Structure formats: structure tokens, C-alpha cells
Amino acid sequence: MAFPSLFANLRTALHGHRAGVTLPRSTRDLLFLLAVIAWTLLPHAPHLPAWCGALVAATLLWRARLAMKRQPLPPRWLRWSLLALALAGTAWSHGTLLGRDAGVTLLAVLMALKTLELHARRDALVVFFLGLFLVLTHFLYGQTPQLALAMALSAWGLMTVLVLAHRPLGYPRLREAAGVVAGAALRGAPLALLLFLFFPRLGPLFGPPTDLPSAHTGLSGQLSLGGMHALANDDRVAFRVRFNGPVPPLQALYWRGPVLSEFDGNTWTPRLQPGPPPPMQLDGAGLPYEMQLQPSALPLLPLLELSPLLDSPLPAARLNAQGQWTLLRPPVQPLALRARAWPGFELGPTEAAPALRADTALPPGHNPRTLQWAADLRRRLPQAGAPALVTTVLSHIRNGGYSYTMAPQDTAALGQDAVDAFWLDRREGFCEHFAAAFVVVMRALDLPARVVTGYQGADPLPQDGWWTVRNRHAHAWAEVWMAGRGWQRVDPTAAVAPERVQRGELLAEGDGLLAQALQHWSPALLQQWRQAWGGFNRTWNRALLQYSGTRQMELLRRLGLHAPDTGTLLRLLGGVLALGGLAGAWAATRSLRRPRDPWRQLQPRLARGLGRLGVTCAPHDTPRALATRVQQHLGAAGAPVQEALLALEALRYGRGPGAGARELRRWRRGFERAVAGTPAARGTSRTDTPTTLAAGTPPAGDAAARSR
């Protein structure tokens, strides 16, 4: 079967019978299940190995083809062989069969292979529960609103499959089964909301994942030349900030991340230096601000320089000896905090100390030409101090033919002496090239220096008072120690590309065609959409992802409970569940009293309509018997009513494809129109009661006719 024909049949399955084409019930349900599985697996495509995605797609298409052709399922040995290959491929791709990524890969393969033995309701239930578990695994990679919406649709589809599995008879429409699920979800929404609000916020049952990709934040714990430029087009949000006071200019917004002091000739790494926070001199009043930090792969807080105080308690946060806030583990959920920064500060000792000698070390045998260039500079300026040397090197960067580019040459192409190749030959690079080369030159001049990475700037316009810092704002700069002043920030990038620092502008290179078209078509509309989406994301994070135990207790205090604790939550939750159970029992009792058979629900309305025509309607009468009675009583004038009754017989006993509650409602409206259009009903009062008719008593007109 060609793929276009397969997809056409899939559309037929999703929309029921169309243009006289009706798929068998089992085929239609199976194609719908395969479509739901494909939709559920689609967001995992970036996380799965290429072979896994190809195997899953081929398996689902193969199973759909077998269903359409009504061919037998593959033998067991073939299924087991595919499973063995999948296990080997997982071990080869991930190096293990354990862990998050390996587990998701195996789960995706098992879900696809399970469809190859899907032939009974029990198998459908296994696939249903596997699908729900697969839905949950998506939230190990992200908790964005768009992902939540996609997984809500997946859960809706899986629940529809479950409803169909429990309705083995007839041909219920997919729309009807989906409506049952939607109704149940709406009825259960209040209980779900109460559970979300009042269920105790306990610690995670499992430890946080340690294999989060570093692209979640745009920062890495180390720095190599050419390692940061790929983030320049990454528009994902790293964090949002709101200032409770005057907003600093964009060129003053340096968000301190990893401090890198060790250099092996190619890579800068942090130095493990335990100890108390360094000495600080703070100038002026502190600037309070709030931060909403997105999940990160690094156990640190990229706070504004310099933020020695946290106004919100974070027990795991610690200010280390490099002036950087660290955590015990990476934040795997959005984190809200309040801090206070001092833009005017002095960090570290102001007098020379033996520990500073470690920050002048350079690996032997690397970048000899740059070291020679620094030695020549020292001979020209033998008495110059640190400020004069820094000014001279920055002037060289500004006037020496250097350029700022987002497409620097690959580090491997620069060879072992990458700083030599950048500083003396190519003279073009990204921020890490300028920062790393500047620190090498400073150390070659016997000045303590180190590299600092983090973020610089923010989006040029705030959204509802919140400034957005994205991965593309990732930046690298230098710190040089100066006598009497401590560690001083020096940003060599500002010497060659001041617009990058002053206005937070990045080069436009790399924009996609779609982004360029939208920007050209309506920049204002695009900006408004971004602002609206950013506001929605902030609301999502604050209302859902950041709803913690502290906020739970604040809610209880607002409800009038004094000194609430976990016991208060449990008692309140127990009372809510008890009331919900009583309400459910009351609703179930009421539903048992009402007739559940649609035919029994329809009989009173049918008796009233026929009573207006003078036709008797007993509880045991079938639609065909009533149609015969209408023909005998009204003749040709009752033909529309007779046709409606025969159509009711087809609906009740034939149960053709798509027959359901909606068709019965449509039939009822048609029947009422047919009765209203019959001459015998036009002179009948609507207040006539069919009580005697339902009991089988003939109408007065029939008795008079028989007497005549």
C-alpha cells in the first residue's frame, strides 16, 4: 500500500464514514491508536537516537499497513529479534540501559513493538498504560506550557482509546468517545484543582536528573575557544528579572556565572578553592531585584554583580571564595528568588597575597608567540602598573584590526596554540576569544587574571516590568587583580564591539528566513506577540511550576487558618475528599433512579407526540408497530410520522456507523416537526395528556368510529 493511500485511510478512520467508505471497527480503532502513539512520541524525537526514531516510525507504519491489508501479525521470533536489536542499539548509543535517556529510548521502542502483537483488549490496555507513562517522561526534559498542551491532547487520545476498548459492540464514533472523556475531565477538574492546591508538597521521590543538557541555560562549567558562539542564536529564556528600584543601564548588567582560573592551553576550568567568601567593599545602597530562574545544568545562581545578599532564604545556596553563588545540585525546576546587588564594589584582597600567584600561571609550551608579544610590551613599558597595561592592551584590541564575529574558526582548526592563531593571525572571534586571549596576555605580563562567564545585558524592552535574559546573552569577560582595588572587571569585547555591551545588540547573522519575513512584515506585531507569550510564560511558571510548600501555607493563612502545617493540609485534604465522595455517591444514586436506556428516555416524548395525533402508545410497542398504527389511523396524512418511526427502528436496532446520542437528538427534532406538520395535530391542544393513551385506552375518536 502506498503511503498516500494509507494516510487517506487514516483520515477516514479519524472522521468516521465519509463518502460511503467505512473502515471495520477494529481497523479504525487501531489506526486511531497508532496516530495517538505517533503524536505522543513526536516531542521525544530530538532526544532519541536516529536509529530509534527510524525504527519507531517504520514499525508504526508497518502495523498500519498490516491492519489496512488485514494481514497476519509478524511471528514472535521476529518481534524478539527486533527487541534484541533495540537493546543492543540502546547500549551502543547511551553506553548503558539505565538512566533517563536510555530508559526513554527503550520505552519508545517497546511502545512501537507492542503494537505488532496488538490483537486483544488486554494488549490495548497494556499500550494504554505504556502511553500514559510515556506522557510523563516528557516532563523530565521540560515543563513548558506548549509541552503540557501537547501531552494533554495525548492523554485525551489515550483515554478515548480506553473508552472504545470498553465499548466492544456496535460502531461508536470517535467523536462520541472523545466527548465522554472530555465530560469526565470537566467533572473531575474541580477535584484535580483542589488536589493541586492542598496536596502536601513533599520532596521528590527520586533525585533530580544529573544528565540535563547544558543547553538549558546556555552556560557550561568550562570554556574553550569557539564554545560559546553557538549560543548567540539561542533565544530560549535563561531567567527573568524585575528591579524594585531604578533599572541599571544595559551595559551595567553583568550576571556572574562560573569563574575560570585554571588553563591547560585549550580549556579554562574553575579552581576548586573552598573557603569563606572573599572580602568585599560595597559602595552605595543596595539594589533589590527579583529573579525567575529557569532549569539549569549548572549548580549555580547567575546573580547580578555583585549580589552578596539573598533576601529570600535558599538553604542550599552558598557564596564561594570567587564571589559566585553555588547550589548543592542544579535547579531542575524554575526557581524564584529575591536578592540585593551593589553595582559599585571591590572584590577580593587589596594587598598582594601568595594565593594570587596561582592566577598568573600559564601552561608551558603553549602560545609562545603571544608570550613573546607580552614580553615585548613589558620591555617597552617597564614601569607601567596594572591599570596602564590594561589600558594599553585594550587600545591594541580597539585599533589593531580585530573584529567581532559570530562565526569564528573552529578551535581544532586553530591548532594547539589557539590563542596565538587568534591574537596574532586571524584577529576575529567571539567574546570568549577576546576574554581568553586577554587573560593570557595579562598573565604573561605577570598580572593575576581570570576568565568569568555568565550573561551580559537583557532584552531591550521589559515585559510587564520583567527584563528577559536569554541564552543568546551568554558572555565571557575578564577580571584583573589591581593593588588597592582588588579584582576589577575588564570586558575586552567592549573595546572591539561596544554595541554588544552598551545596547545588548547581537549580530543578525544566522536569522532564519521565517524570522526575517516576520520581522519585515510587522515588527510591532512580532514584538507584541513575544511580549504576550513572555507574560504567559511568567504566569505559568509562577502559578504552576513555582507553587511550593511555602506558597501553600500562605494560601492557608489567607483562608483564615492560623499557624498551618502539614497536618493541617492533610486534614483539609481528607475533608475535601470526603465531601467529594459524598457528592459522587449522591450523583450516582440519582443516576440510578433515571432510566439509562435511551429508548426508555425517549418513550414519554414519543407518547406525547403520538397522543396529539390520537394514536395509542403502550410501553411495549415497537417503532414499527407504532408506524403501522399511524398508517391505519391517519392514512397518507401520517406518512412523515410513519417514516420517522421507521427511521427510529433503524437507529435502535440497526445501529449503523455513527449512531449515537447526537443522532437520536436529531431524530427527535425531525419527529416533532413531522408531528407538528400533520393535519390531525394542528387542531389538538398541547395541553392534552397522553396518560390514558399510554395505558392502552383507545381515543374517543376511535371508539366513535367503531360504534358507527
- Residues acting as catalytic residues: 431, 475, 491
Burial 119-155 (b: 16+ CB within 10 A, else e): eeeeebebbbebbbebbebbebbebbeeeeebbeebb
What pairing do the DSSP bridges indicate for beta strands 403-404 and 428-429?
parallel
Integer-rounded Cα radius of gyration of the chain = 37
Instruction: Answer whether 265's CB lies under 8 Å from 368's CB.
Output: no
Long-range contacts, 90-96 (Cβ 8 Å, 24+): 90/49, 90/52, 93/49, 93/51, 93/52
Write phi, then psi, for 269 (nearest 5 degrees): -135, 160
SS3 (DSSP) at 367: coil
Q: Amino acid letter at 529?
A: W
* CA-CA-CA-CA torsion sign (524, 525, 527, 531): positive
| Cis before 306? omega within 30 | yes
Closest Cα partner for 455 from 231, 227, 267?
231
Q: How far apart are CA 626 and CA 605, in angstroms?
A: 14
Give the relative orientation of helices 50-69 and 3-15 as an angle to the nearest 10 degrees.
70
Closest Cα partner for 336 from 193, 245, 466?
466
Instruction: Answer whether 155's CB lies under 8 Å from 181's CB.
Output: no
DSSP string, 492-517: THHHH-HHHHHS-----TT--HHHHH
DSSP β-bridge partners for residue 673: none
